[in-house]
Amino acid sequence: MAKILVADDITQNVKLLRVILTAFKYEVIEAYDGEEALNKARTENPDLILLDIMMPKITGYEVCKKLRADEATKNIPIIMITALHEMDDRIKGIEAGADDFISKPFNKTELLARVKSLLRPRTVAGREDESEVLNIILANIDEGVVVVNGQWEIKNINQTAQQLLQIPGTEQKDMLACLSQMELTTPVDTLANAQEKDTNFQISISKGQTPVKINARLIKIFDADKKLSTGVLIMKNP
């Protein structure tokens, strides 16, 4: 019987997950804050962890990072529980070491499918490459998404973004250089230097003789020194 640690500070969510999982013969361990989740992960040695992001004492991100840094727990599969459509939560989760995500409210069929998938026999390495996990997520998103590192180098770009920006995935590696070739409602220098977490603007793309306006949102994730660590450009089809 597989053992699953469920960590969420909302009692109702934990009880709901317990009902779903025990009905399918999984053993469930409960934790109601980040410290308890971390301690039980180390003492109970679960086969999988369902980890809420926003918890008291230690956030789900920090719990995930600490588990990945510990030789005894680094290979435990972790599914992070996120709010629906919160792309920046998922990007942070990937950086912390999450294997997969499930959104609230829980879909029973989706939850069980993701749990079953991660409980399959795993390789010695233990976890899929983070970029591959991200590619799988981006492939199932309607919006165009580009992920860059702190030097604005494109690390991931989905097919929708390639089509909207009219660039193949391997042609342009510098997002600022790419955007500088387009007409923007916010200058490239402003986008690069702004300290705001979110910036909304428009990109004008020429298609034939008619320019098309694309609504865009740039999300920035800063490190402890307030330097850019990850940028996410999200674009919606006009």
Q: Is the pLDDT of residue 108 over 60?
A: yes
Give the global pTM.
0.60
Q: Is the pLDDT of residue 28 over 90?
A: yes
d(CA 40, CA 173): 42
Per cent of the chain over pLDDT 90 is 39
Q: If you average pLDDT over residues 13-22, what whole number do you get?
A: 93
Sheet holding 27-31, edge to edge: 27-31, 3-7, 48-52, 78-83, 100-104
Sign of CA dihedral 151, 179, 187, 155: negative
Max mean pLDDT among 116-120, 134-138, 139-143 falls in: 116-120
pLDDT confidence band for 171 (50 / 70 / 90)? low
Positions of CATH 3.40.50.2300 in the chain:
3-136
Architecture of the domain made up of 3-136: 3-Layer(aba) Sandwich (3.40)
Positions of CATH 3.30.450.20 in the chain:
141-236
Other C-beta atoms closer than 10 Å to the C-beta of 14 total 19
Question: By mean pLDDT, which of 105-114, 120-129, 186-195 is the weakest?
Answer: 120-129
The better pLDDT of the pair 173, 15 is held by 15
What type of residue is 83? Answer: A
Q: Kindly report the CATH number that applies to the domain delimited by 141-236.
A: 3.30.450.20
What type of residue is 122? Answer: R
Contacts of 126 (CB under 8 A, 6+ apart): 74, 75
CA angle 125, 14, 40 (to 5 degrees): 50
CA of residue 10 relative to chain centroid, distance: 21
pLDDT value of residue 87: 75
Cβ burial 152-191 (10 Å sphere, 16+ → b, else e)? bebebbbebbbebbebeeeebeebeebbeeeeeebebeeb
pLDDT confidence band for 90 (50 / 70 / 90)? confident
pLDDT confidence band for 19 (50 / 70 / 90)? very high
Q: Is 123 helix (H, G, I), strand (E, B) or coil?
A: coil
Q: 18 exposed, middle or buried (CB, 10 Å; 0-12, 13-18, 19+)?
A: middle
d(CA 189, CA 75): 41
pLDDT confidence band for 135 (50 / 70 / 90)? low
Alpha-carbon distances, residue 28 vs 50, 116, 149 (angstroms): 10, 14, 37
